[in-house]
Chains A and B, each alone.
Chain A
Amino acid sequence: MTSAESLIGAALPRPDALAKVTGAARYPADLVRPDMLRLRIVFAGRPHARIRRLDTAAALAHPGVLAVLTAADVPYNAYGLIDADQPALCQDVVRFEGDRVALVVAESNEAAEAGAKLVAVDYENLPAVTDPRAALAPDAPLVHERLGTNLLLHVPIRKGDVARGFAAAAVVLDGEFSTSWQEHAYLQPEAGVAYMDDAGRVVIETAGQWLHEDRRQIAEMLRLPEDQVVVRYAAIGGAFGGREDLSVQHLLALAAWKLRRPVAIVWSREESMIAHHKRHPITIRCRWGAGSDGKITAVEAEVIADGGAYASTSAEVTKVATLFATGCYEVANVAVDGRAVYTNNIPCGAFRGFGAPQAQFASEVMVTRLAHALGLDPAELRRRNIYREGSVEPTGQPVPEGVSAAAVLDRCIAEARARLGYGEPRAQPADPRIRRGVGIACGIKNVGYSFGYPEQATATVELFGVAELERAQVRIGAADVGQGAHLALRQIAAATLGIPPERITMITDDSSEAPNAGSASASRMTLVGGRAVRDACLAAREQWSATEEYHGMATVQFRPSATTPLDPVTGAGRPNYSYGYAAQAVEVEVNLLTGQVRVPRIISVHDVGRAINRQQVEGQIEGCLAQALGYALLEHFQVRDGRILTPYFSTYLLPTAPDMPDEIVPIILETADPEGPFGARGVAEMALVPLTPAIASAIHDATGVWLTQQPMTPERVLAALDAVTKRQ
């Protein structure tokens, strides 16, 4: 027997690691065979235009081009995760640069590329709206004419009476913050193959985050029953939310289904950059008030998110950003208005943090500013307001049980005192041009789906062995995007069944072979998928013990406690069933002459409920910090009039190894989630939430200036320093 104690938390080696580091692992582009037809997408290349005429004759005449598919070839020409508002191939209007207009199918990549250049599209350019505030003006050009407005969603949250709250405040501060797009920059650009199998089903082999949702959207587009579409995942080279929306999967399916031949596509990095969704640019204007006792009395905020040309998950992201406008603090009086806006920019959707990093850049900086204004330690002001068991969210319901925000903060401050000298006079480098500072910030992010979106994971477990349990087969359609979900689920199964992990077969990557586990997103797979696996293991085991044939097989759907939609007027409701809490302390060094910011040390404290595999949790934290550091300081996605200027990694800069801190201290706390398997909640997104405000606070500590635009580039640091010098 293998005890749960020895398996849960154990740093078991990743079964996929060797193949990945030796290059043996097969990613989607590795599935392409020479005999497959190759696809090339004709992109719009302009932000907004009417298609007057589309002529495929020249392309079809090119040697090797077999077909040019257009809107007329798509049975149901609309898809999307929430609203099906995005055409697979545009018929009359293109709404952003990366809109797909036609699909060239050819015998070779070269022929497909040449054919794509020969597709003649006669466009009538339309006025483009690329600023979300301008898009809300009554006379703004409409992105979707049929809607009559560019407002995709307005979500109000009202709690208490903000006027009274501000009247009671000793300090009232205003702030305005803006963030830009962020590119997921996964190692593996979009790719895949598709073919018709012997049973006449359309099979798509690719990468994604949710087999069954990909299948649903593809089946809907082709007007096929879902069982006639099979989605399989190869090894997935990162996702971070960027593979939630369909990119190439549905077009692969369309071509294979139309031509009845195997087809393949591999996007270049530039195609990936201009065509898949991004993190939302969000601007936040806010007002915060606090009493002389350090209690926050009121928060008012306006949150505007640039959703780009199609809905994607903008509504959900904007609700999350609106909910977290007050961070992880209990505030009696709240009035927040969130708006998601259609523009002719690239669509925005899911990206690690899902609205929380943008919102808490603002809220965490405001909390620190309030503390300064009141002469309080920013940690102390946080303590006086932070969520505790029984605290009420701005939506009027108590925070879900298992609230550990205060414990996480306290541990972070203790570590920051010991390691970074937090709270003591700062020792400055001998070089007067370099100023050192320390900053702290907290973070909160929901685990799992929010606002009443159906939440479930299903697993099937079959047990083998007579008298003694020998082995098990676990079926769960859970995407391992690189985070290690498959090993975590295996460890949960092994610990539950009491057998060694290597005696468990995992069937996870085929929509026809494994049940729906929901997406690998929202930090949810360990909690929801893990719980489904655990419950199915328990049920199968009970059955196996109870029968003389020793047959045990169970399918269990786990549904966590319900969430609700927000009231359209007050925002009241139960937004989430579980939260992950984080707190970070960072040390920065600001070069006053060049504006460059270095981050030598980061302490990142997380309550993960229970670490299923401690090494993987630390890996998630460290990897996430690289992405967070890039977001805070470096990654500057530049767009002009809807055209992306930075589709290359030579101008969209990611952090390199020397840019990473000299020291990262990941600290894992374990306050059990009441619903998670062995108490586990999630960790994937949490480290991204506090880092930008923590660095902003540290820059302020070092220099006395506040940065309010992400990313905090040398240009912006010097401008802020300059503005202060000029004022003096």
Chain B
Amino acid sequence: MQPFDHVSATSAAAAVELLQQGGPSGARVIAGGTDLISLMRDRIQSPRLLVNILPAAAALRYLRFEADGALRVGALATLADIERDPHIAARLPILTQAVRDAATPQLRAMATAAGNLMQRPRCWYYRGEFPCWLKGGDECFARDGENKYHAIFGASPCVAVHPSDLAPVLVALDAELTIAGPGGSARTLPVERFFAPPTDDERIEYRLQPGEVVSEIRVPAQPAGARGAYVKVMDRQAWAFALVSVAAQLSERDGVVERARLALGGVANVPWRVAAVEDLLTGQRLTPALAAQAAERALENAHPLTHNGYKVPMARAAIRRALLAAAGQEE
């Protein structure tokens, strides 16, 4: 690990200010540090200044339902906070399920909601000592290399997948981020648009302007009777990154789907929302046949690599299961 300076921020605004002092690329916000520290230890990232935002917990660590039913999640709420919140368990169990599956209890106690969205890919070429494209190199070693955990969707030069369990669920819930910026500014951005596949100019999976800090995640009130399900498929029973995950959120009226959201994890650089399937489901009765049709449609444009073709049938199965579970049906 390279030596670095460490300063504390007691608010999002203070963090913004300190980040600007650190220069455009030399400063990073650290919260739980569950990913950043390992990236620094492996010298994948070597910021010269760490702005520790944990002292801002009084202002940024909260979980609140508004009168209209929206949920506000402070950026520093931990995964464990979300998992243990009885109101979330009752009103948005899909969120509880996503954080419960995300990591070990130790990690859940440290990892923050906002940090979870900004974790970097687990691709072994990115994490290992390979000069891979995502780290500024010329070549994606996974594309023709060992790629059983890699993407089946997307057109980025990078074929790593997004590791977050929270991200696809927040996309399916139409969540928004509040982002604090220089000069006391703030903007809101749908979580879906916060993520963007890495490009030649921006080799990262999310978009923040220099000096910006995520301060809140807002989950809007869901339509009455809306239900969701998160299905995560892993190599083992616990504590592994998703091979494939599916977040499905449905609202029905008189047995007919009125609004559907479907987002996949573990299949692309970013949470992969499947609008075509949402359209297909809308206005229909969710039957096992329709779920199967939706699963087929969702994977229509998948283009697996040498070792990850298995993700296609696996994702179809997970989509069927998630859709039926969201509709309160057994598969």
Which of A's residues lie within 8 Å of B, judged by CB?
45, 113, 431, 433, 591, 593-596, 634, 636, 638, 640, 643-648, 650-651, 653, 655-659, 713-715, 718-719
Contact = CB atoms under 8 A, between A and B. Distances in A.
Most-contacted residue by chain B among A433, A645, A657 (CB, 10 A): A645
Nearest to B237: A658
Contact of B310 (A433, A657, A719): A719
Given A651-B149, A653-B240, A638 B124 contact: yes
A638 B236 CA distance: 17
Given A433-B317, A645-B124, A714-B314, A650 B129 contact: no
Contacts of B1: 113
B128 A653 contact: no
Interface string B97-113: 00000000000000000
Nearest to A46: B129
A593 B313 contact: yes
Interface centre among A45, A594, A645, A653 (most CB of B within 10 A): A594
B313 to A, nearest CB: 6
A657 B238 CA distance: 9
A640 B148 contact: no
B318 A594 contact: yes
Nearest to A655: B236
A657 B317 CA distance: 25
Contacts of B128: 643-645, 647
8 contacts: A113-B1, A634-B236, A647-B128, A651-B122, A653-B240, A659-B237, A714-B243, A715-B148
Contact of B122 (A431, A650, A714): A650
Given A640-B145, A640-B146, A643-B129, A714 B235 contact: yes
A656 B238 contact: yes
A656 B237 contact: yes
Nearest to A431: B331
Nearest to B312: A718
Contacts of A718: 309-310, 313-314
Contact of B233 (A433, A594, A655): A594
Interface string B104-138: 00000000000000000010110111100000000
A169 B233 CA distance: 46
B308 interface: yes
Given A645-B124, A646-B124, 7 more contacts: A113-B1, A596-B233, A658-B237, A658-B238, A715-B148, A718-B314, A719-B309
Nearest to B243: A714
A646 B146 CA distance: 11
Given A45-B129, A640-B141, A593 B310 contact: no
Interface residues on B, range: 20 to 34
Nearest to B307: A715
A599 to B, nearest CB: 11
Contacts of A431: 331
Contact of A714 (B125, B238, B239, B310): B310
B316 interface: yes
B272 interface: no
Contacts of B236: 634, 653, 655-656, 658-659
Contacts of A653: 235-236, 240
A113 B43 CA distance: 12
A594 B266 CA distance: 14
A403 B120 CA distance: 56
A646 B149 CA distance: 12
Interface of B: 1, 122, 124-125, 127-130, 141, 145-146, 148-149, 233, 235-241, 243, 307-310, 313-314, 316-318, 331
Given A640-B141, A651-B124, A656 B310 contact: no
Contacts of B127: 648, 651
B303 to A, nearest CB: 17
Contacts of B316: 593
Q: Which 8 A-B pairs have the closest CB atoms?
A: A593-B317, A645-B124, A658-B237, A718-B310, A715-B310, A594-B314, A638-B146, A656-B238
B143 to A, nearest CB: 12
A437 B236 CA distance: 20
A653 to B, nearest CB: 5
Contacts of B317: 433, 591, 593-594
A156 B317 CA distance: 49
Given A650-B241, A651-B124, A593 B235 contact: no
B146 A645 contact: yes
B294 to A, nearest CB: 15
Nearest to A644: B128
A638 B146 CA distance: 7
A659 B238 CA distance: 8
A634 B309 contact: no
A595 B310 contact: yes
A713 B130 CA distance: 26
B53 to A, nearest CB: 24
Given A594-B233, A655-B236, A645 B125 contact: yes
Contact of B130 (A591, A596, A643): A643
A656 B239 contact: yes
A45 B130 CA distance: 10
B304 to A, nearest CB: 10
Contacts of B122: 650-651
A634 B1 CA distance: 31
A645 B142 CA distance: 11
Contacts of A45: 129
A718 to B, nearest CB: 4
A650 B122 CA distance: 8
B270 to A, nearest CB: 20
Contacts of B307: 715
B242 to A, nearest CB: 12
Contacts of B235: 634, 653, 713-714
Contacts of B240: 650, 653
Contacts of B308: 715
Contacts of B241: 650
A719 B310 CA distance: 7
B59 to A, nearest CB: 32
Contacts of A645: 124-125, 128, 146
A98 B117 CA distance: 34
Point out which of B128, B149, B238 has the most chain A C-beta atoms below 10 A from its C-beta: B128
Contacts of A643: 128-130
A722 to B, nearest CB: 8
A10 to B, nearest CB: 35
B147 to A, nearest CB: 10
With most chain A CB atoms within 10 A of its CB, the pick from B129, B235, B309 is B235
Contacts of A648: 127
Nearest to B1: A113
A272 to B, nearest CB: 15
Contacts of A714: 235, 243, 310, 314
A717 to B, nearest CB: 8
Nearest to B240: A653
Contacts of A656: 236-239
A657 B316 CA distance: 28
B84 to A, nearest CB: 20
Nearest to A113: B1
A179 to B, nearest CB: 17
A631 to B, nearest CB: 13
A379 B309 CA distance: 36
B101 to A, nearest CB: 12
Nearest to A114: B3
Nearest to B163: A650
B54 to A, nearest CB: 23
Contacts of A719: 309-310
Contacts of A647: 128
A695 to B, nearest CB: 15
Contacts of A644: 128
Contacts of B146: 638, 640, 645
A121 B317 CA distance: 51
A640 B124 CA distance: 10
B66 to A, nearest CB: 37
Contacts of A715: 148, 307-310
